[in-house]
Amino acid sequence: MDKIILVNENDEEIGIEEKLKVHKEGILHRAFSIFIFNDKQQLLIQKRAKTKYHSSGLWSNTCCSHPRANEILINAARRRLVEEMGFDCELKEIYKFIYKTNIDQLIEYEYDHILIGNYNFSPMINNKEVEDWKWINVRSLKRDIKNCPDKYTYWFKVLLNKIKF
């Protein structure tokens, strides 16, 4: 399994460790969350594959993951965007924050970098990572999250409340 970057609360690297161990022990680590919009200002969201080891079958932002050891964050983000959604585009970091929560008997404790990009076509999803996808207006999305919060990942709900789109 991949090794990911451990950080302190200033996002300074302090080591590397196996990803599942990090999530079992709740160690602070670097992560990223990508939000892709089209020219209609719709957000591309994905439904996580049922085979994911946590938050499976839930709707979330376009893509999220962790940079590997010795991998530059923006390169990792673009790599994962291609691996999960089948396309690449320019990405820009707009926000970062730390969050911690228990999910499916694991602990997400992440220093999360938020990146946005623009893309106007249908993705070519990797079915091992993504079960479904759709473009959605953020206002409609927020209304659905309010009515059906259990359909969405924890971090996605947090981010939608923190960031002004």
**Annotated active-site residue in 63, 84, 108, 110:** 110
Residue with tokens 């927020």: 142
Active-site residue, from 64, 84, 108, 131: 64
Q: Using CA atoms, how far apart are residues 130 and 115, in angstroms rounded to an integer? A: 19
Q: Which two three-digit tokens encode residue 2?
A: 């991949």
The reply to whether 64 belongs to the active site is: yes
CA angle (120 as vertex; 114, 121 as ends), nearest 5: 110
25 catalytically annotated = no
Q: List beta partners, residue 94.
A: none
Beta bridge partners of 112: 31, 97
Give me the active site residues, please: 64, 110
